[in-house]
Amino acid sequence: MAKGRSQETVIEYRDVYKAFDVPVLSGVTLSIPQGEIVAIVGPSGTGKSVLLKTTIGLIVPDRGDVLVEGESVYFGRREALREVRKKVGYVFQNAALFDSMTVFENVAFGLRDGEAKEIGREEVVRRVVKALEEVNLDPSVVLRKLPAELSGGMRKRVGLARAIVGEPDILLYDEPVTGLDPVNTAAVDQLITAIAARTGVTSLVVTHDVPGALGFCDRIALLEDGVLQFVGSPAEFRSSPNPLVQAFADREAAAALARQGLGAPA
Amino acid sequence: MGSMLGLLTDGVRAIGRVGSGVAGHAGGMGLLAWRSLTAVLSGSVAFKDFIAQAHSIGVQSIPLVLVTATLSGVVTSQQGGYQFTGAIPLYVLGSVVTSSVVLELGPVLTAIVLIGRVGARITAEIGTMQVSEQIDALYSLGRDPIPVLAAPRIFAGMIAMPALVGIANAVGFVAGMIAARLTVNLGSESFLYGARMYWHSYDFFYSMMKALAFGVIIPLISCHMGLLTRGGAEGVGRATTSSVVFMIIAVLVADALFPPLFLN
């Protein structure tokens, strides 16, 4: 069910700092309103995934705070983190599917703790099938397969199905197209847009694929040297006089062309 | 003088580093044990996970335990027979084999088998889950990895290990008895007579206490090391090696502590 857009801030990063021997995030502040798709781009190792992980406490910031739907993740109630995780679907870089579980079990695991028991087996199957269909996978083909039997592109989609099966308010994508060929990259980019349009989910996408991101996001942010060097619309990004933005866009466009030439079918 | 002072400082630093590392691991394992216990007591551990682990740790280890137990019984019997011939009444061999197997070889060799077969696998399995973000995925889905991964393994180890040691004791004893007949021609009745002569029921209890301790140590260390794994495939290899070393040292230290604590 689409929630429609509002100006209500759903995710807010307040002056987030994190260092691993060297500083990675040096004061990131960003607000994301409900229903918006925000892409975070930047060179490797600049803390894009770290920022994403601070949203649900997978990495704890050294300073600063993250607010999800107005609730502080780190300085609020004790239950805040658990409740935030219930509202968030997380798509991991390498899908992070559970090796010992079938596709069905992996996707069903995305239902919140205890929910599967509450709704019963039939409803679980219905929701898993629906989630798989939504990411353009044929349930009759993949349902009983193990992750090791799937291609990279299929694994990513199963990871996405696991993230959306619980109908979250927020979707966090960590490099959803890394390692995919151009066809699968375009398919995943379309899925991000389609899911956001259908459900009204707020999406934060960490990606290297700048051309793809410019196609699907409402706003794009460049994270470099631990701070957000640019936040704006795709049109503003393209015409930005900021030398860091221009240099990064040129580098990534060249890299994207090289990847297209070398991309292997998923 | 200056170099002596430098050596001394380096030595103290090294001791400090090792001490700090050991304290860190001990604290981490204490916390893991506590969280696993509370997970079990609060009913957060799925029974099917516990059964799956008990099967993997216990039932699937039986063949290897049978082999090691048989060989330990046979070797003890043969060596005892060789030493006793002409010096000590041969029926004493029954007592020597029984005591050796029940007090020492059964629990320790079964622990070594479990370290290689189960402990290393648990560290590699959980370590791989850690480096491939599967543990993060559990957290992101609102699941705590302790009730899902660690607690079933630790409590399955606690149940499986005494059962395996019980089997190892029985098989080692019978193998020793058969070997005594075949090598030094000591009949079963004489062997049993010797075994009964110096037998204390407490020995079996002692053996089971050791088994229980090893049954906690092995999965606890292996889960702890798995959860600490960082750094891709190389990290998994490093963690698995460290885990096996820690498990062997911990089992042997615990084994050395048992006689002064429980046999006097």
Say how far apart CA B178 and CA B155 lie, in whole Å: 35
Nearest to A109 among B129, B133, B141 (CB): B141
Cβ pair B115, B251 in contact under 8 A: yes
Chain B: nearest CA to A143, how far in angstroms? 19
- Contact assignment for A112 to B142 by CB distance below 8 Å: yes
Residue B1's pLDDT band, with cuts at 50, 70 and 90, is low
Cβ pair A266, A152 in contact under 8 A: yes
The Cβ of residue B255 has, within 10 Å, a number of other Cβ atoms equal to 16
- Contact assignment for A109 to B140 by CB distance below 8 Å: no
What pLDDT does residue A266 have? 41
What pLDDT does residue A165 have? 93
Say how far apart CA B252 and CA B244 lie, in whole Å: 12
Residue from A232, A237, A230 nearest A253 by CA: A237
Nearest to A96 among B134, B142, B143 (CB): B134
Checking if the pLDDT of A4 tops 80, the result is no
**Residue count (chain B):** 264
Checking if the pLDDT of A66 tops 80, the result is yes
Whether residue A93 lies within 8 A of chain B, CB to CB, comes out as yes
What does pLDDT average to over chain B? Answer: 93
- ipTM score above 0.90: no
Say how far apart CA A115 and CA A63 lie, in whole Å: 34
What residues in B contact A98, CB-CB < 8 Å?
129, 134, 137
Nearest to A82 among B132, B137, B142 (CB): B142
What pLDDT does residue B41 have? 94
Supply the DSSP symbol for A147.
G
Q: Are strands A202-206 and A71-72 parallel, antiparallel or unpaired?
A: unpaired
- Contact assignment for A53 to B136 by CB distance below 8 Å: yes
- Contact assignment for B133 to A56 by CB distance below 8 Å: no
Average pLDDT for residues B19-41, to the nearest whole number? 93
Chain B: nearest CA to A43, how far in angstroms? 20
Residue A252's pLDDT band, with cuts at 50, 70 and 90, is confident
Checking if the pLDDT of A1 tops 70, the result is no
Q: Which residues pair with A9 in a beta bridge?
A: A33
A115 CB contacts (<8 Å, ≥6 apart)?
A166
Choose the mutation target among A99, A146, A169 for the interface with B, i.e. most B CBs under 10 Å. A99
Nearest to A94 among B133, B140, B142 (CB): B133
pLDDT tens-digit readout, B184-210: 888 999 999 999 988 888 999 999 999
- Alpha-carbon dihedral angle through residues A191, A197, A199, A205, given to the nearest 10 degrees: 50
Residue from A219, A220, A224 nearest A247 by CA: A224
Say how far apart CA B106 and CA B103 lie, in whole Å: 7
Say how far apart CA A262 and CA A246 lie, in whole Å: 24
Average pLDDT for residues A128-132, to the nearest whole number? 94
What pLDDT does residue A260 have? 63
Sheet holding A9-20, edge to edge: A22-33, A9-20, A63-68, A71-72
Whether residue A90 lies within 8 A of chain B, CB to CB, comes out as yes
Average pLDDT for residues B69-96, to the nearest whole number? 88
Q: HSE, CB side, 13 Å, CA atoms: give it for residue B45.
A: 23
Say how far apart CA B31 and CA B46 lie, in whole Å: 21
The more confidently predicted of residues B108 and A44 is B108
Say how far apart CA A54 and CA A73 lie, in whole Å: 9
A127 CB contacts (<8 Å, ≥6 apart)?
A108, A111, A119, A165
Checking if the pLDDT of A246 tops 90, the result is no
Whether residue A56 lies within 8 A of chain B, CB to CB, comes out as yes
The tokens 């979707």 sit on which residue?
A: A171
Average pLDDT for residues B27-41, to the nearest whole number? 94
Say how far apart CA A233 and CA A236 lie, in whole Å: 5
Whether residue A79 lies within 8 A of chain B, CB to CB, comes out as no
Choose the mutation target among A92, A107, A169, A174 for the interface with B, i.e. most B CBs under 10 Å. A92
The more confidently predicted of residues B172 and A119 is B172
Whether residue B142 lies within 8 A of chain A, CB to CB, comes out as yes
Choose the mutation target among A52, A83, A90, A115 for the interface with B, i.e. most B CBs under 10 Å. A90
Chain Cα centroid distance, residue B256:
13
Average pLDDT for residues A102-127, to the nearest whole number? 87
Q: Which residues pair with A31 in a beta bridge?
A: A12
Checking if the pLDDT of B119 tops 90, the result is yes
Q: What 3-state DSSP class applies to B103? A: helix
Say how far apart CA B163 and CA B23 lie, in whole Å: 32
Say how far apart CA A95 and CA A101 lie, in whole Å: 13
What pLDDT does residue A264 have? 41
- Contact assignment for A56 to B139 by CB distance below 8 Å: yes
The more confidently predicted of residues B172 and A256 is B172
Whether residue A92 lies within 8 A of chain B, CB to CB, comes out as yes
Give the burial class of A160: count Cβ atoms within 10 A of its Cβ; 0-12 exposed, 13-18 middle, 19 or more buried.
Answer: buried
Whether residue B42 lies within 8 A of chain A, CB to CB, comes out as no
H helix intervals, chain B: 2-41, 47-57, 62-84, 92-99, 106-114, 120-131, 134-140, 145, 151-184, 188-197, 201-227, 232-262
Query: b/e for B149-181, b at 16 or more Cβ within 10 A?
Result: bbbbbbbbbbbbbbbbbbbbbebbbebbbbbbe
What residues in A contact B139, CB-CB < 8 Å?
56-58, 85
Nearest to A98 among B134, B139, B140 (CB): B134
Phi, psi of A9 (to 5 degrees): -75, 125
Average pLDDT for residues A138-154, to the nearest whole number? 91
Q: Which residues pair with A171 in a beta bridge?
A: A89, A203
pLDDT tens-digit readout, A162-205: 999 988 999 999 998 887 888 888 888 898 999 999 889 999 99
Name the CA radius of gyration of chain B, rounded.
22
Checking if the pLDDT of A265 tops 60, the result is no
